[in-house]
Amino acid sequence: MAWIYLAIATIFEIAFALCSSASQGFTRLGYSILTLVIGAAGTFFLSMALISIDVGVGYAIWTGLGSVGIVLLGTVLFKERLDWRKSVGIAAVVVGVVGLNLSGAA
């Protein structure tokens, strides 16, 4: 169940970043409130996951996969450029996440 909580927390992490950007520095009330609510929900699910996943592993996976998701959605939603440097970075994060999962930390 911990990995499901971590997956949910990661989805909230991605949504948090997207809403935070849309809030335009907390000047748009709706997105600002949504950012805070989503951030709280993501933190809740992360804390549930960390009951049985090592904190270093869980947090690294949460932030790593969140970052990858944000970069990929940025290319789709905001027409941001995905060059070879970003692709290498994404590959490095994915390799790191796989390595952490193989460490048997949960």
* Residue 27 DSSP label: T
> pLDDT tens-digit profile of 40-81?
999 999 999 999 999 988 999 999 999 999 999 989 988 889
Q: How confident is the model at residue 102 (pLDDT cuts 50, 70, 90)?
A: confident
Q: How many CB atoms lie within 10 A of CB 49?
A: 26
Q: What is the pLDDT of residue 78?
A: 85
Cβ-contact 47, 99 below 8 angstroms? no
pLDDT of residue 97: 86
Pull the structure tokens for residue 1: 């169940």
**Are the CB atoms for 36 and 7 separated by under 8 Å?**
no
Residue spans of the domains in the chain: they are 2-102
Question: Given its phi and psi angles, is residue 82 left (phi above 0), alpha (psi -120 to 50 degrees) or beta?
Answer: beta
Residue type at 77 in one-letter notation: L
Unique residue bearing structure tokens 């790191």: 96
